[in-house]
């Protein structure tokens, strides 16, 4: 047993020595991991022995294991020698077609004749595939591919950029202060007194040849208390040649100067076809940097001009405002307001660079800027002004039409249904944008700047979408979203007075007055509409208490005012006009003596108090007129046409200097502007109707009419259910007092060939028969505006009779009123006896427009043509004449310019918005789904 034990020990020692010898033999092998022999003890016993008497029987080799510990990483002269720090292996393939993968820590690689990276045995190194940007596309070993170096790898590359970080001595003397250079500084590489320090580096040409480049630093300014910076000039010297930082002109083989034309092509002066071939109005030739043989930074241009000042504060955070809105010019610094923080952005700078032939105007974009932001905007504007004058040409009969279609999803089969006739937008029709910028669109192919095209296209989209629904036959499902938009003529000049325009506003309810405030406070025109106007009457005063910063206004009645409400003061003042006239004020309190008090803290009121009293004339501390406007209207608004039009980032304003008065989104309806129902009568109430007169139902009610639909009111019944009778029903009132609800309008029945039945300028709606007026026939349901006082009933359609034979049916015409002549007829389940009237109905799908004789042969006779009077939504404009009797004319709102129009498109928030995608360089047409309905854009 002892012999066996000794033998196992010898075997173990032999295995350990073999592992150690192998480790020593591979000490120089790259990536080799040492091995270690591991042993275990042998214990022996027999079934007859007690376990406590077992003794050791030697050792046994459990195995030789490699030790994967991190080795030392050392440098080598082979660029492809790699090492792995941490866990992992290099993956290799024995051949390009092999599916076997071999793993190793040996990172000693070389390149074979086919530029494949291989190890010492020729096995191919595997790498993960990558995109052009270097990102890995797959991280599985099955997708790993052999690494092959590109053909261009290792080719020489010329030095193109130098990143240089250096430290220069702060206490070095200023070179130019050296008495040696009293007669002028002269740099020389051989004179160490002409520079402070220098540093050299090696650069390479495109053949890989090295060259020494030396940068010399010349101190030109030492730090001071006012300017704590040291300044250095530099000189770059290559092969004893000083490189001058001047722009190098590009020439061809004939020494002719090469230019880049407006299309980006190289050309010479001899080949220029016309003066417009170059970028317009820039005063210098245009170069393309990438095409220069030697790229050298140019010297900065010298820019001079007149100066203006503005205090941005110590931190530069105070703001100035840039505006290009022509209605705001009087408020700018350029208009002579020395204390104004508003500047005119057009022609903000007139730049002449390096004595160029043509000075260039620089325009800034509107907005508010601090000092840093303004500097950036000026830099952008100058670069833009000296950039290319790119324009977009709209070619006639080629790309002058935009077609817009709207699709609905058919729930049955999932198909899409478009409009019967798509919306066609003519880009060569004029707009107020083309009129402003002087572009002729008729019979030409005009050129637009990008922002001009965006603004013009947006106006054409708005106008065409309105015409498609209002004047055309198109149906976009927006008939209940109509509203009235009225506009005046273009103002010749900025009206420099605050004034109030009162007008009648008519809708489906009785007409009421609204008040348009034109404010010129702070020399900035603004518009707002109010429901109430309260005069500061004779003897009342407006007093300012400067010690408490309170403004008190005495009135006759303060019931229309509430604390916290914003009101507007408008009047005719000699004193304090610039402080209070046209200003918005917030009510602090209302006292029992009918006075309102305003807190003026922080509102820029003067240091001294004042009291102004209403009198018969304007002089000194009296004023002739003043009004407090309150309750800003929720159904009518006003603004200047085009003030919201400018595309995002645009320089120009397209304010058309026209006042727009329109209904808001809360006041939309289905009737047109000249069909307002302001003169309608509420049927309830004593004496509201005229007995024996005919009326037309304009608004449905809810009261019972004994469950009947007859249209003649019997004396025994005073209830009218306009809802059962139907909208548009004509009936005769036999009583003057009705208990029903709803609204009706009197019907006019002109005799044939009658005159003096209409009033010139008023609007009428034909409700039965056909009216001929001014030589034009107007059928039932249409409206017309009287051009004279004559209305003629068309003979061929009035008074015609039809026989209804027993048990037979006879067709009737929708919208026409019939009178039963004899016996009884039945229409839509209702019996009408002799003398009663009924109206053909057109809207309900369940109606059959036929009558049946109820008992015996009967006759029905069409009534003579009838019409009712309508009103314009906005009418009766009158001025308070605070600035004189010509206010309406000055504002372009006189009767010869002011007109109503029915629209459905909100020009401030249109259903289709035209924009430009700068990233993808394309025009986009976005859909406003709040206006056009839910869906997706295309």
Under 8 Å between Cβ of 650 and 451: yes
- Mean pLDDT calculated for residue range 911-932: 81
Question: Distance (Å, rounded) from C-alpha 472 to C-alpha 420?
Answer: 12
pLDDT at position 709, please?
A: 43
The pair phi, psi for residue 275, each rounded to 5°, is: -65, -25
- Mean pLDDT calculated for residue range 419-437: 90
Burial code (b: 16+ CB inside 10 Å, e: under 16) for 605-615 equals beeeebebbbe
39-69: pLDDT as tens digits: 777 766 666 555 555 556 677 777 777 777 7
Asked whether residue 757 carries a pLDDT value surpassing 90, the answer given is: no
864-879: pLDDT as tens digits: 788 888 888 888 889 9
Asked whether residue 279 carries a pLDDT value surpassing 80, the answer given is: no
Question: Distance (Å, rounded) from C-alpha 40 to C-alpha 52?
Answer: 20
pLDDT at position 322, please?
A: 92
User: DSSP state, 365?
Assistant: P
pLDDT at position 282, please?
A: 44
Across 421-425, 504-508, 704-708, the highest mean pLDDT is recorded for 421-425
Which CATH fold would you assign to the domain 486-667? Answer: Elongation Factor Tu (Ef-tu); domain 3 (2.40.30)
pLDDT at position 562, please?
A: 94
282-306: pLDDT as tens digits: 444 444 444 444 445 555 555 555 5
Tell me which of 136-150, 282-296, 311-325, 781-795 is least confident. 282-296
Provide the pLDDT confidence category of residue 308 given band limits of 50, 70 and 90: low
Provide the pLDDT confidence category of residue 795 given band limits of 50, 70 and 90: low
pLDDT at position 714, please?
A: 47
Provide the pLDDT confidence category of residue 264 given band limits of 50, 70 and 90: low
13-44: pLDDT as tens digits: 777 788 888 888 887 776 677 788 777 777 66
Mapping DSSP to helix (H, G, I), strand (E, B) and coil, where does residue 211 land? strand
Question: Distance (Å, rounded) from C-alpha 336 to C-alpha 210?
Answer: 64
Question: Distance (Å, rounded) from C-alpha 901 to C-alpha 675?
Answer: 11
Tell me which of 31-45, 80-94, 631-645, 762-776 is least confident. 31-45
Asked whether residue 574 carries a pLDDT value surpassing 90, the answer given is: no
pLDDT at position 73, please?
A: 81
pLDDT at position 686, please?
A: 56
The pair phi, psi for residue 930, each rounded to 5°, is: -70, -20
Asked whether residue 457 carries a pLDDT value surpassing 70, the answer given is: yes
Across 411-415, 793-797, 842-846, the highest mean pLDDT is recorded for 411-415
Every domain of the chain and the residues it spans: 2-66, 175-243, 320-387, 393-478, 486-667, 679-746
Which residues, listed in sequence order, are joined to residue 565 by a DSSP beta bridge?
A: none
Q: Which helix (H) or strand (E) holds 285?
A: none
Question: Distance (Å, rounded) from C-alpha 667 to C-alpha 509?
Answer: 11
Provide the pLDDT confidence category of residue 199 given band limits of 50, 70 and 90: very high
Q: pLDDT above 70 covers what percent of the chain?
A: 81
Under 8 Å between Cβ of 151 and 115: yes
Question: Distance (Å, rounded) from C-alpha 281 to C-alpha 525?
Answer: 35
Pick the closest to residue 623 from 568, 690, 680, 553 (CA basis): 553
- Helices and strands of the chain, counted as H and E runs: 8, 60
Pick the closest to residue 815 from 850, 797, 841 (CA basis): 841
pLDDT at position 589, please?
A: 94
Distances (CA, A) of 11 to 15, 39, 344, 481, 746: 6, 11, 102, 103, 130
- Mean pLDDT calculated for residue range 799-814: 72
Tell me which of 280-289, 314-323, 531-540, 770-779 is least confident. 280-289
Across 181-185, 666-670, 770-774, 888-892, the highest mean pLDDT is recorded for 888-892
- Read off the pTM: 0.61
Average confidence score pLDDT of the chain: 81
- Mean pLDDT calculated for residue range 660-664: 94
- Mean pLDDT calculated for residue range 228-246: 83
Which residues, listed in sequence order, are joined to residue 297 by a DSSP beta bridge?
A: none
- Mean pLDDT calculated for residue range 679-684: 73
Provide the pLDDT confidence category of residue 806 given band limits of 50, 70 and 90: low
E strands present in 462-615: 483-487, 499-505, 512-519, 526-535, 541-545, 550-554, 566-573, 583-590, 595-599, 610-614
Tell me which of 172-176, 473-477, 553-557 is least confident. 473-477
Pick the closest to residue 341 from 351, 328, 350, 352 (CA basis): 328
701-722: pLDDT as tens digits: 666 544 444 454 444 455 566 6
Provide the pLDDT confidence category of residue 206 given band limits of 50, 70 and 90: confident
């Amino acid at each position: 047993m002892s012999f066996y034990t000794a033998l196992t020990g010898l075997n173990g020692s032999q295995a350990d020595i073999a592992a150690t010898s192998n480790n020593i033999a591979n000490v120089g092998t790259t990536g080799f991991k040492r091995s270690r022999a591991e042993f275990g003890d042998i214990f022996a016993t027999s079934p007859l022995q007690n376990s406590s008497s077992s003794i050791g029987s030697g050792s046994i080799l459990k195995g030789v294991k490699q030790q994967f510990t991190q080795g030392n990483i050392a440098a080598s002269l082979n660029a492809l020698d790699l090492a792995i720090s941490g866990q992992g292996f290099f993956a290799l393939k024995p051949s390009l077609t092999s599916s076997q993968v071999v793993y190793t820590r040996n990172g000693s690689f070389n390149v074979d004749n086919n530029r494949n990276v291989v190890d010492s045995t020729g096995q191919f190194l595997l790498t993960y595939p990558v995109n052009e940007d270097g990102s890995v596309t797959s991280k599985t070993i099955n997708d790993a591919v052999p690494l092959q170096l590109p053909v261009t790898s290792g080719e020489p590359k010329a030095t193109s950029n130098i990143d240089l970080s250096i430290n220069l001595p702060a206490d070095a003397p200023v070179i130019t202060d050296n008495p040696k250079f009293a007669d002028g500084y002269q740099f020389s590489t051989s004179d160490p007194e002409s520079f402070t320090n220098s540093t050299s580096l090696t650069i390479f040409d495109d053949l890989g040849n090295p060259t020494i480049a030396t940068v010399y630093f010349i101190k030109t300014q030492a730090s001071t208390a006012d300017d704590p910076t040291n300044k250095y000039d530099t000189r770059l010297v290559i092969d004893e040649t000083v490189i001058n930082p001047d722009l190098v002109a590009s020439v061809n083989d004939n020494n002719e100067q090469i230019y880049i034309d407006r299309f980006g092509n190289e050309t010479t002066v001899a080949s220029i076809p016309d003066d417009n071939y170059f970028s317009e109005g820039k005063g210098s030739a245009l170069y393309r940097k990438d095409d220069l043989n030697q790229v050298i930074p140019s010297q900065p241009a010298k820019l001079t001009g007149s100066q203006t000042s503005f205090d941005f504060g110590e931190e530069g955070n105070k703001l100035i405002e840039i505006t290009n809105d022509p209605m705001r010019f009087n408020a700018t610094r350029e208009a002579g307001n020395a204390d104004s923080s508003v500047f005119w952005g057009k022609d903000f700078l007139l730049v002449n660079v390096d004595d160029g032939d043509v000075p260039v105007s620089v325009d800034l974009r509107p907005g508010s800027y601090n000092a840093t932001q303004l500097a950036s905007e000026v830099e952008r504007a100058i670069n833009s002004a000296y950039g290319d004058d790119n324009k977009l040409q709209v070619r006639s009969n080629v790309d002058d039409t935009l077609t817009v279609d709207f699709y609905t999803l058919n729930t049955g089969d999932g198909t899409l249904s478009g409009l019967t006739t798509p919306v066609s937008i003519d880009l060569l029709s004029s707009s107020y944008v083309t009129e402003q910028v002087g572009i002729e669109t008729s019979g030409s192919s005009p050129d637009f700047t990008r922002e001009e095209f965006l603004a013009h296209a947006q106006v054409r989209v708005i106008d065409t979408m309105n015409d498609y629904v209002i004047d055309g036959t198109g149906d976009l499902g927006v008939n209940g979203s109509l509203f009235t938009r009225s506009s005046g003529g273009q103002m010749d000049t900025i009206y420099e007075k605050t004034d109030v325009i009162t007008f009648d506003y008519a809708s489906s309810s009785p007409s009421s007055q609204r008040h348009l405030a034109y404010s010129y406070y702070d020399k900035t025109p603004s518009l707002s509409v109010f429901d109430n106007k309260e005069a500061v009457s004779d003897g009342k005063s407006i007093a300012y208490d400067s010690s408490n910063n309170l403004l008190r206004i005495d009135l006759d009645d303060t019931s229309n005012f509430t604390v916290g409400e914003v009101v507007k003061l408008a009047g005719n003042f000699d004193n304090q006009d610039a402080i209070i006239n046209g200003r918005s004020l917030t009510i602090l309190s209302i006292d029992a003596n009918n006075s309102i008090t305003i807190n003026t803290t922080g509102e820029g009121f003067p240091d001294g108090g004042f009291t102004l009293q209403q009198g018969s004339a304007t002089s000194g501390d009296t004023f002739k007129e003043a009004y407090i406007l309150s309750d800003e209207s929720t159904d009518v608004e006003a603004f200047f046409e085009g003030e919201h039009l400018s595309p995002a980032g645009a320089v120009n304003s397209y304010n058309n200097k026209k006042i727009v008065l329109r209904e808001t989104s809360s006041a939309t309806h289905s009737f047109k502007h000249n069909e307002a129902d302001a003169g309608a009568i509420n049927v309830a109430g004593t004496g509201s109707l005229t007995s024996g007169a005919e009326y037309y139902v304009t608004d449905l009610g809810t009261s019972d009419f004994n469950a009947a639909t007859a249209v003649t009111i019997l004396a025994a019944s005073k209830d009218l259910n306009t809802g059962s009778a139907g909208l548009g029903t004509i009936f005769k009132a036999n009583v003057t007092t009705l208990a029903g609800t709803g609204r009706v309008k009197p019907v006019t029945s002109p005799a044939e060939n009658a005159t003096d039945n209409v009033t010139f300028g008023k609007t009428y709606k034909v409700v039965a028969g056909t009216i001929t007026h001014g030589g034009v026939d107007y059928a039932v349901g249409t409206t017309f505006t009287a051009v004279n006082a004559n209305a003629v009933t068309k003979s061929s359609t009035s008074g015609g009779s039809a026989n209804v034979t027993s048990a037979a049916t006879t067709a009737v015409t929708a919208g026409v009123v019939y009178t039963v002549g004899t016996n009884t007829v039945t229409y839509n389940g209702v019996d009408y006896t002799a003398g009663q009237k009924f109206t053909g109905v057109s809207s309900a799908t369940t109606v059959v427009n036929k009558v049946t004789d109820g008992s015996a042969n009967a006759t029905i006779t069409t009534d003579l043509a009838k019409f009712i009077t309508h009103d314009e939504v906005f009418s009766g404009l009158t001025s308070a004449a605070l600035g004189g009797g010509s206010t309406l004319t000055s504002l372009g709102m006189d009767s010869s310019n002011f007109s109503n129009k029915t629209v459905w498109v909100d020009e401030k928030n249109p259903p289709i918005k035209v924009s430009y995608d700068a990233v993808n360089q394309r025009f986009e047409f976005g859909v406003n789904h709040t206006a056009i309905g839910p869906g997706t854009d295309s």
